[in-house]
Amino acid sequence: MTQLLTCILGGMGFAIGAICSYLRLRHHVRWAPAALRVAVTLALAANVGYLAGRFRSMGVVETFRYSFDDAVLLATLLGLMGISTHLARTLRGVDGFLFIIATALQCAALAIVNQPEMRITGRAWFVSHSIAFAISGTLFIAGGVAGVAYLLVNRMLRRKQPTTLVGNVASLESLERFGRWTPIIGFPFFTYGILTGLCGVSHRPDLQADDWYLDPVFISSLLAWAVFGYLCYGSLYKPQIRGKRAAVLSTYGLGLIVVAYLFRVFFSLMHA
Amino acid sequence: MRTFVVGCNHRSAPVEKREKIAFDEAAVPAALQRFKQRFPEAEAVLLSTCNRVEFYVSRPMQGRPRIDEMIAFIGEFHGIEMHDFADTLYIHEDVQAVRHLLRVASSLDSMVLGESQIVGQTRDAFKTARMAGTVGRNLGPLFQHALAVAKTIHATTGISIGRLSVGSTAVDLARQIFSNFGDKTVMMVGAGGMGKMTLTHLIETRPQRVWVTNRTHARAVEVAERLSRRHPLTVQPIPFADWIDRLAEADIVITCTGSREPILTAEAFDQIPARRAYRPILLIDIALPRDIDAAVGRHDCVYLYNIDDLQAVTEAHLAQRKEALAKCHEIIEAAVLELADRQSREDVGPLIAALEKHFREVGRQELERILPKLEKASAHDRELIEQMLHRVTGKLLHGPITRLTGDSAAGTGRVYAEMLRALFDLKTEE
C-alpha cells in the first residue's frame, strides 16, 4: 500500500512538473514555475519519506535488496537533478525531460510493487553497488537528456526556423557543457558499480554454473559503459567529439541506460 | 464620471503634425499642473511618446472639460491653432476610451506590434500624473488595471515573442548558441550600415573582443574608433588579409562587404573547424550578393545565416505575434467589460442614494403633514403608519433600483440614470 502510494504521489508530482515545464517553455504560463516547484517538492518528499521509513524499519543494506526501492532512489535522484536544472537559468528546458524520465521510472515501479527481495549477496558493502548505479544512472541520464536537448536546439537552428523556443531553452554551449561533465562525473561511479557487481557474482555460487556474463543487464551495462567511456575520452582528449557528435553519443548512451534498466527490472537473472 | 481620450498617433497624424503637439519630458508636468488649475474637478493623464500624444481625461458627468475645451487646452498650451489638427485627432469616449487605453498599454496599437517599451511609457505617464495630483479615484484604478492587463497579455499570449529586427534577431541567435559572451570574439567584415547596426546589437552582449576589418583599412580604423567612442569596450581594426586566419579565434562573424564574389569559400574554411577545436561559430552574412559560400554551413560547428534567413525569422516572429492577437483581444474585451461594469456601478450608486433620499423626503413631509391631524391615534398607530410608509416607499423603489443596477453592466443603466436625474431633478455627488 505504501509502495503504491509512493508511486502515485511521486509519479503524479513529476508528471505535473513535466507538464508545467512544457507550459512555461511553450506558452509562458506564469504560474507554471511555482506549480512545478510545489509538485516536484511534494513528489520528492513522498519518495524521501518512503526511503527514510524503509531505512528505519529494515536498515540501508536490506532496503536495497528490493528492486522497488532502487527505482525510488533513482527517481528521487532524477527529480533532484530536475529541480536543480529548473533553478539554473542556463539549463532551461532540461528539467522537463528529467521529470518525464522520473515519471516513467515511478510508473515502471508500479510493476514491481511488493516484489520479493533479490537473491543478491547480503554483504553490507554490496549496498554501494546499488547506490553507485543510482548516482551514475542519474548523471548519465542527465547527460543523455542534455544530448537530446542539444540535438533538438541544433536542429531548430540548422533548419533556420528558430521561432518560439529561441531564448526559452538552454543555449547549445550550456547544454554541451552540462552534457560533457555529467558523464565524466558519473563514469567512475558506473565503473565502480560494474566492478562491485562482478564481485557480487563471485559471492553467488548459484550463478557460477550459468553463463551469467550473457545476462542482458551485464551486456547492456557494458555497452553503456563503453559508449560513455568513449564520450568521456572524447570530451577530454578529442576535440572533434564535441557538439553534435557528443550529443549523439550521449543520446545512444541514454538509450542503453534505459534498456539496461528495463532488463535489470524485468529480465535479469542476476537481479532476480 | 465621463472618461474620454483626445490625441493622435503615428497612424492618424504624420510626424510633422505630431511633433507640434508633442509634450517633452519637462512639459508634461507643466501641462498637467495647468490642467489642474483650469479644471480642478477633473482627472488627467498625459501620454506623450514619439508615436503618440494622448490626453486621458475623466470628469464629473455634468462637469468640465468638455472635449472641445480639451482640444482648445492643448492648442493653447502649445500656442497653436487646433483647426489644422481637426482631421488628425481622434476622440474616444467612455467604453471606447477604456478599450483604447488597454490596446495602447498592451502595445496592440503600437507601430511595432508587441513592443514592450509602451508599457513602461504608460506607467511613467501614470506616475507623472499621480505626482502632479491629476489622478483620482477614476483614472487611478483604470490605469492600474490597464497596466495589469498589459502585463498579462505580454506574459501569456506570446504577443512579444521573438525580435523584429535583423540586428536583434542576430543577438537572439547568438544567445541560443553561446551562454557566456565574456570569452567570445565578434568580428565584422566590411563596413556596411546593416553590418554596423547588427554589430551594435551584438556589442550589447559585452563580448571579450571586437574586431573590424575592411578592404580599405582606414575605413576599418574609422569604424572601430567610432564604435569604441560609443561603447565601453575596445574595438580593434585588423588587416583584411588576416580575416580568414582570424576565424580560428572569432566566435561570431558578421560579413557585409560589397564583393561580387564570396569572400569565404568552403575550401578556405575547411581547415578552420579543426583549428578552432570544433567550437561552434555563428556566421551572419548580411551582404548581397552573399559573402560566404553556402557550403561553409555544412560543417557541424557552423551556424550560417544570410539576410533571407534572418528576415524569415523576423517574419515568423511577426506572424506569431499576429496569431496571438485574437487572444489579446479576448483579454482586452473581458477587461473592458469588467471596467465598464465597475464604472457603471460606481455611477449608479450615488444616484440610487439620491433617489431613495428623494422618496423618503417626500414620505417624511407627508407624514409630518398628516400626523398632527390624527389626534386620536395612539403611539402604536403612528408607528404602524410610519412603517407602512417606509414599506410602500421601499416597494415603489425596488423595481427601478433593480433595473438600474442590473442593466448598468449592459450599458442601458446610463440611459436610465439620465432619465431618473431629469424626471426627479436629482443631484448626485460624484
In the chain, the amino acid numbered B407 is: D
Which domains are seen in chain B, by residue range? 2-156 (3.30.460.30), 166-300 (3.40.50.720), 342-424 (no CATH)
| Cell 543577438, located at residue | B171
pLDDT for position B408: 57
Tell me whether residues A244 and B300 touch, CB distance under 8 A: yes
Residue B39, amino acid: F
Confidence at residue A178, expressed as pLDDT on a 0 to 100 scale: 94
> Residue B158 and residue A164: Cβ atoms within 8 Å?
yes
Quote the percentage of chain A above a pLDDT of 70. Answer: 93
Comparison of pLDDT for A242 and B419, the residue scoring more: A242
Q: Among A174, A186, A172, which residue's Cα sits nearest to residue A221? A: A186
Reply yes or no on whether the pLDDT at B1 is more than 80: no
Q: What is the pLDDT of residues B263-300, one digit of tens each?
A: 999 999 999 999 999 999 999 998 888 899 999 999 99
pLDDT at A272: 65
Beta bridge partners of B252: B186, B282
Q: How confident is the model at residue B345 (pLDDT cuts 50, 70, 90)?
A: confident
Residue B409 is given by DSSP the state T
**Nearest-CA distance B162 → chain A (Å):** 7
pLDDT mean across residues, chain B? 87
Q: Do B277 and A239 touch (CB under 8 A)?
A: yes
Task: Reply yes or no on whether the pLDDT at B394 is more than 90.
Answer: no
- Residue pair B213/B281 in contact (Cβ under 8 Å)? The answer is no
Element spanning B315, H or E: helix B307-370
How far away is chain A from the Cα of B175, in angstroms, using its nearest Cα? 7
Residues whose CB falls within 8 Å of the CB of residue B249, separated by 6 or more in sequence, listed in order: B185, B276
- The reported pLDDT for the residue numbered A208 is 66
Q: Which of B166, B251, B278, B320 to mutate to test the interface with A (most CBs of A within 10 A)?
A: B278
**Which residues of B are the active-site residues?**
50
Contact B303 A158 (CB under 8 A): yes
Which among A150, A152, A171 is the top mutation candidate for probing chain B, defined by the most B β-carbons within 10 Å of its own β-carbon?
Answer: A171
Which contiguous run of DSSP H or E holds residue B267? helix B266-269
What span, in angstroms and rounded, lies between the C-alpha atoms of A54 and A1?
13
For residues A127 and A199, the answer to whether their CB atoms sit within 8 Å is no
Average pLDDT score over residue span B174-183: 91
Residues of chain B neighbouring A245 (CB-CB closer than 8 A) = 300
The contacts of residue A192 (CB under 8 Å, 6+ apart) are A128, A132
DSSP chain A: -HHHHHHHHHHHHHHHHHHHHHHHHHH--TTHHHHHHHHHHHHHHHHHHHHHHHHHHH-HHHHTTSHHHHHHHHHHHHHHHHHHHHH-GGGTTHHHHHHHHHHHHHHHHGGGTTPPPP-----GGGHHHHHHHHHHHHHHHHHHHHHHHHHHHHHHHHTT---TTTTTS--HHHHHHHHHHHHHHHHHHHHHHHHHHHHHHHT-HHHHTTTGGG-HHHHHHHHHHHHHHHHHHHHHH-TTSSTHHHHHHHHHHHHHHHHHHHHHHHT-STT-
pLDDT of B218 over the 90 cut: yes
B311 contacts chain A (CB < 8 A): no
Which residues of chain A are under the pLDDT cut of 70?
120-122, 162-167, 207-210, 268-272
Dihedral over alpha carbons B348, B134, B96, B66 (to 10 degrees):
80
